[in-house]
Chains A and B, each alone.
Chain A
Amino acid sequence: MKYKHLNIKILAMENVKFSWLAIICMLFVQNPAKSQFIGSETDSSSSYIEVRKGSVVEYSLEPDASPGEEFRWEVTGGKIITSGAVGSGTIASPSILEFTEDKHTIEIQWQPDDSTSGFFTGNILVQKKPASGCASIITKQTARLWSMPTASIDKNNSDFTICSGDSVGGYIVVNLTGAAGYTFSYSIKSNGLKNETGNAINTEHHTITTSNDTAHIILPARLTNPSEAASKYFTIELTAMNDDFLGDGEIVSGREDFTITVYPSVKIGTIKSTKLNRR
């Protein structure tokens, strides 16, 4: 508040002194670490930005700062890594960069990737305080934080070994993270096994698109190893992963393949006897 006349300025200063004293006392009693924006009116964009969890992104205001302008930033769902910021970035302890001259650009490290399929909502709030005059309304930008797109064979689907000709059946589970609209690829390889119909299992490449965060890969009903000497292998290998955003995803290391080992066929020898042979 500004007063247009000198005598009122004196009054205002007294009021300001009192107000500051009151504010300091309140802050000290209630929450010594948390300050506030000036006012509460917020200009919230109806749209949101989408970023990867764990990413470091620079945010700035346009137009550039004028001399003397100060900016206050407050972030949840990530931490401001620009020097001078405090707070962990949680709702209880937002990451805050207090009013600082010319700080119209900051860097945010969004919260660590927790490998999920949903999004977490973060917020960026910023207010400008000119050298003189009124503080701006608070600009608020919501951010949807997505995990990196990954594919992994579920940890419950461990490799196993069977006898040639044993039934297999069922499926393995592939877990997907990132934003729905997943596309992943896998290959099936075998070094000479036959399936339940007796056909050789050739190398196959498949690509699956799904909106679900899990997918099933059907296993052959039966696997037969025609070799009598060496084990053969049926392998499913994840080869590529993407979600609904541009850019390549990843296959989780250590969970990229699944193997069934099939022992060699065991053939019993021809029945022989000591029967009498006629002359």
Chain B
Amino acid sequence: MNTLAQVPTEQARSTDTITYYIINPHGNNAEITWTITGGTIVGHPSPYTADGADTIQVIWNDSNKTSANYGLLKVSEIVKWPGGISCPSPEEQINVESWSRPKAKTDTSDLIICPGESFAIKIDFEGKPEYRYKWKLYDRDNPIMIIEDHTAEFITSINPSTDILIAGIENNTGTEKMYEFEITDVQDALNDSIPGDVSMAGVSIYVQPKTSAGMLKNSDYLIRR
């Protein structure tokens, strides 16, 4: 009897090359056939049939960023017994949900805001919900001047998009002031070692200087004696 090491539904990264195998006590007397949908068998077409091919490598297709790519891997074998009799095995299969690499990107490009004006930065995530991220906002001219620091602990978002609301930034310099928003780390629900991609998770924020309405003049006023 053939044995297949598998789980009913497996989670995978679309960026990984994953090895699948079966326990094959029959060696080259077993003609093994692998069939894949939603991915590719490295170096082989699908279906791929070969004697003793008890191990393959698979790259699953990329997901559509926030939902899984659903793949199916089937395997069967025909054991060629001595005497010329060949006996087929039942077909085994596993379902695979493959996910993109966790990624955060800002859906907001450079912003020009007024002094004191609150604003939102929209973050889009990729990978398997839910998402965890860290961020900070700092003075571009003086990066150690952190305006908001949320890098100590992860913030969780169950949604693939979230708006980070930021209170207004004052600007008393008399000239435009620039700040940088950065997502510093992102993870998704899969517990793997894939580092999140934050390369597109920055926004430059241009805070306009304060202006005055002007000096108030009056046509009449009282004068002390």
Contact = CB atoms under 8 A, between A and B. Distances in A.
Given A3-B112, A61-B215, A128-B213, A134 B222 contact: no
B111 interface: yes
Given A128-B213, A246-B222, A134 B208 contact: yes
Interface string B210-225: 1111111111111111
A271 B218 CA distance: 80
Nearest to A130: B211
B216 A141 contact: yes
B146 to A, nearest CB: 22
B211 A61 contact: no
Given A11-B107, A39-B117, A137-B211, A124 B225 contact: no
A50 B221 contact: yes
B111 A134 contact: no
Nearest to A125: B213
A245 B212 contact: no
Interface stretch (A24-32, A51-59, A84-92): A51-59
Contacts of A8: 107-109
Of B119, B208, B214, B219, the most chain A CB neighbours within 10 A belong to: B214
Given A5-B110, A51-B221, A104 B214 contact: yes
B115 interface: yes
Interface in A65-111: 71, 104
Contacts of A278: none
Nearest to B163: A15
B136 interface: no
B178 interface: no
Given A133-B208, A134-B208, A3 B110 contact: yes
Contacts of B224: 181, 244-246
A138 interface: yes
A137 B210 contact: yes
B206 to A, nearest CB: 8
B122 interface: yes
A59 B216 contact: yes
Nearest to A135: B114
B72 interface: no
Interface in A133-180: 133-139, 141, 146, 179
8 contacts: A2-B112, A5-B110, A11-B107, A51-B221, A136-B210, A136-B211, A139-B212, A146-B222
Interface of B: 107-117, 119-120, 122, 168, 170, 208, 210-225
Interface of A: 1-5, 7-8, 11, 15, 38-41, 43, 45, 49-52, 55, 57-63, 71, 104, 124, 126-128, 130, 133-139, 141, 146, 179, 181, 242, 244-247
